[in-house]
Amino acid sequence: MTQGRQHFINGAWTPARAPDALVAINPADGQRVARFAQAETGEVDAAVMAARAAFPGWVETALEERLALLKRVADGIAAAGDELAALITAQMGCPTSFCRAAQIGLPIGDIHTTIAAAERLHDETLGRSLVQKDPIGVVVAITPWNFPLHQIMAKVGPALAAGCTVVLKPSEVTPLDAAVMARIFDDAGAPAGVFNVVFGGRETGEALVSHPEVDMISFTGSTRGGRAVAAAAAGDLKKLSLELGGKSANLILDDADLETVVPAALGQAFINSGQVCAALSRLIVPASQKAQVEAIAAEAAKGWTLGDPADPATRLGPLATHAQQAGVRQAVKDAIGQGARVVAGGLDIPAELAAGAYVAATVLSDVTSDAPIAQHETFGPVLTILTYADEAEAVRIANDTRYGLSGGVWSADEARAVALARRLRTGQVVINGAGLDLAAPFGGVKQSGLGRENGAYGLEEFVAPKAITRPQA
C-alpha cells in the first residue's frame, strides 16, 4: 500500500478512484514527496456510512475497552515516532529536532490526558434527574497541517473515548502521517468502521461536512475556513467545534527582566516557524522600554537562523507551502510600506535556500494597533512590537482584534500578571512563559472559534447530556 493513495474505510484499505489526484511537496526544496488520493462523493459516503454502522456497537463497548484501544494507539505512535517525524518534516518543513519532541510527543500526551479525563466522565444526579453523557454520534474531524498528529489525536482521541465513531480528513498538505495513523489504529485492533480516513482537499471536506449522516464536525483551520464549515453544517444543525485563527498578544509589564523575557517572547512567536494558531505574535511593551526591547530582540533573533529542516541543528525551517511563504512575505512588505521598521529579519533570505518556502525570523517595530500586520493572522515567523503608556492601554491593545485565542503576560509579580490576564478577552493566557498544559481547555472567543479541546473540556464536546427525570417522591 502506498501511503495516502488508498483510503482507510470500514477497517480496510480501499483503492481510491483518484489515487494520484493530489501532490505533497517538500517546502524545503519544492520537490514532490508523494502523490495521494482525492476522495470522491461515493468514497466519502462509504466512510460515513461505515462510521454510522459501527456506532451502535462502539457505544456499547465498555469504556475500559475503548480506553485500552487508545493506550495501544499511543504505544503505536511512540514505536513509529521516527517514521512519523520524518514524514512531517518532509511534508511541512518542521525542523527535525522540534518535530521529534513536539509533533510526536504532543499526540501521545493528548491520548493520556484524554484517558485521564474519560476515567472521570460519569453520569451524575441533579435534582430528581439522572444526567447521562451520551456520545454525539458520527464525527468528522478535519485537521490542519501545522501540528498534524496533535490535532488528529486532540479530536479523534476524545471522540472515540466518548463512544463516537470518526471519519478523519487530514490536511492535503500533510496526508502521509495520517495514513500511518490508520495503520496504527488497525494494528491496535480498532473495530471496523470506528476510525476511517479519507484523503483529499476542499471538495472532500465539503462532501463530509454536508453529509446527512454526520452528527458533528470538529475543525481546525482558518477563520475563513471555519465560516465555510459552519455554513455547510447549518442545514442539518450539526454540532460544531471550531478552533480557528489568532492574533495573540504578549504583554511585558514594566517590572519584567527584559534580558530573560524578550528572547523567550521571540520563541513564543517563532516556534514551528510561527505557524501556530496560538503564536504570541504581538509583543506589547512599555513605551519607556521600547529601545531596550528592540535591541535585545535584534540580538536574540540572530539565533533563529534559517536552514534545512532535516539538519538537527536547524531551529527555523521553511513555511509549509510556497503559497504560505508568499502571503507572509507580502504581509511584511505591506507593513514596511505602511511605516513599520525592521528590527530583525525582513524580506531577504540566503541564496542557497531560494528554492524553499523560507521566511526569515522578522521583528517589526513602529507598528500601531490598527495596522493590518497587527490585526490579521500572519502565520509565519513575524513579531510586531507595540507600545503602551499604562496597563489600561496595554489591555485595550491586547483586546483590540477580532480574535481571542491565546495571550501571554510577563511580570516579576505573578499575582500582578494573573490580575491582568483576567482582563484579556481570550481563551488562554500563559503566565511568564508557562508551558502547554494539555489538561487545560484550549479554544477561542470572538472569531477564534467555538468549543474547546484538551482534557475534560475537550471530551465534553463529544457528549450530549440527557436528563432522565424521576417523579417527585
Distance between CA 54 and CA 164 in Å, rounded? 9
How crowded is the C-beta side of 384, counted as CA atoms within 13 Å? 30
Q: Are 357 and 324 in contact (CB under 8 A)?
A: yes
Distance between CA 388 and CA 86 in Å, rounded? 43
- In the set 43, 243, 460, 461, the catalytic residue is 243
Output Rg (C-alpha) for the chain, integer angstroms: 23
Distance between CA 69 and CA 56 in Å, rounded? 17
Report the amino acid identity of residue 339: G
| Residue 243 is a catalytic residue | yes
Report the amino acid identity of residue 32: R
> Is beta strand 165-169 parallel, antiparallel or unpaired with respect to 138-142?
parallel
Task: State which H helix or E strand residue 239 sits in.
Answer: strand 239-243
Task: State which H helix or E strand residue 293 sits in.
Answer: helix 290-301
Q: Are 400 and 421 in contact (CB under 8 A)?
A: no
Task: Give residue 253's Cα distance to chain centre.
Answer: 28
Distance between first and last Cα of the chain: 63
For 58, 76, 207, 363, 456, the CA distances from 119, given in Å and listed in that order, are 17, 21, 34, 45, 10
Distance between CA 252 and CA 365 in Å, rounded? 15
Distance between CA 54 and CA 60 in Å, rounded? 10
Looking at the DSSP bridge assignments, the partners of residue 431 are 409
The x, y and z cell numbers of residue 50, run together, are 461505515
- Provide the sign of the torsion angle of the four alpha carbons 363, 364, 370, 375, taken in this order: negative
| Residue 94 is a catalytic residue | no
The x, y and z cell numbers of residue 122, run together, are 460519569
For residue 331, which of 368, 375, 266, 297 has the smallest C-alpha distance? 375
- In the set 94, 99, 164, 277, the catalytic residue is 277
Distance between CA 278 and CA 201 in Å, rounded? 24
For residue 163, which of 184, 132, 137 has the smallest C-alpha distance? 137
The Cβ of residue 389 has, within 10 Å, a number of other Cβ atoms equal to 10
Residue positions annotated with a catalytic role: 243, 277
